[in-house]
Chains A and B, each alone.
Chain A
Amino acid sequence: MGDGKTVGIVLVSHSREVATAVAEMAKALAGGGATAQVAPAGGTPDGGLGTSSELITAAAEEVDAGAGVAVLVDLGSAVLTVKALLAEGDELPTGTRLVDAPFVEGAVAAVVTASAGGDLDAVEAAAAEAYGYRKQ
């Protein structure tokens, strides 16, 4: 991106600890310089297991630099809540996209790509590619 803006990443998990740990891991693995903005949105506001639309919208606003926001989710209500917020139209920053990718591997790929200056399409492609990485 020529304008220096990087894609923001939001990681939505049912668990606050999972979202936070994956965010830290992705940033650490993307290291070696300034990394893209990454915000976890895990669990419910009181720390319980579940999905919070408030935490998701706050996280998306926090990482939005105008180059788009890639949202990665774990399962169930996290997927449905982000889809419902996107369908609403004005709940998430313009250029927010739900990225279809494995949560941990996709998060690393997304943060590395965004940190390297990739645009939202490149971030999405890199995260989705993680599905193709077989382990056996």
Chain B
Amino acid sequence: MLDAEFFRRWLAAVAVSVDREADRLTELDSAIGDADHGSNLKRGFTAVAAVLEKEPPATPGAVLMLAGRQLVSTVGGASGPLYGTLLRRTGKALGDDAEVTPGQLAEALRTGVAAVAQLGGAKAGDKTMLDALEPAVAALGDSTESFAAAREAAEQGASDTVPLQARKGRASYLGERSIGHQDPGATSSALLLAALADTAEGAA
């Protein structure tokens, strides 16, 4: 079972990994975006980690909803409302339970990913974060061991965005010139899933 403490550790691990990878994310974003993905997410997840430490919510759902809200208000770029929606909808789907099963988290994340797709009007293959998130949530099952499979699927999904042509966001203006670059959003989504698997393995 996963409690609020597990979810706080997960998001703290995301903050650490986004901080570590911020330059790489910004470098990827400078190729096809506006070169702020790393700094925006770093600001957002640093704020998330701080608020979760200061006012730790009691349930997994509340942890994710507070984190999502914080992202929307601090990021300043499109990744704020997108990741904010992912976490908030996932948190809402988890409800008020003090502990959730891995299977419940998998189901809730699927709801969150669907909400992201709806908000951005994107689908798999558009060279967005969904290219990492969709295979990841498809790989999630009802055990924490499945988190490792989701991590692999997200990383593969992010690598698989390299040959794609962007059809959403600022990168879409580049047309064919967006081909050959890994999508920064899919890359940060892979970090989110990697932090989940690491946290479940106690490595974070």
Q: Which B residues touch A83, using CB under 8 A?
A: 81, 119
Q: Are B78 and A84 in contact (CB under 8 A)?
A: no
Q: Are A85 and B78 in contact (CB under 8 A)?
A: no
Minimum Cβ distance to chain A for residue B29 (Å): 13
Q: Which A residues touch B79, using CB under 8 A?
A: 77
Minimum Cβ distance to chain A for residue B88 (Å): 8
- Asked if B170 CB lies within 8 Å of chain A CBs, one says yes
| Segment at the interface with B among A3-11, A15-23, A48-56 | A48-56
Q: In the complex, which of the residues B77, B82, B85, B169 contacts A51, with contact meaning CB atoms closer than 8 Å? A: B77
Q: Which applies to chain B's interface (DSSP): helix, strand, loop or mixed?
A: helix
- How many chain A residues touch B (CB < 8 A): the figure is 16
Minimum Cβ distance to chain B for residue A45 (Å): 9
A-B contact count (CB 8 A): 47
How many Å lie between the Cα of A44 and that of B39 in the bound state? 14
Q: Which applies to chain A's interface (DSSP): helix, strand, loop or mixed?
A: helix
Q: Which B residues touch A50, using CB under 8 A?
A: 36, 40, 76-77
Would A81 and B80 be within 8 Å (CB), given that A53-B72, A53-B73 are in contact? yes
- How does the 8 Å CB contact mask read for B68-96 relative to A, with 1 for contact and 0 for none? 01001100111111101100100000000
- Asked if A80 CB lies within 8 Å of chain B CBs, one says yes
Q: Which B residues are within 8 Å of any A CB, using their own CB?
A: 36, 40, 69, 72-73, 76-82, 84-85, 88, 119-120, 169-170
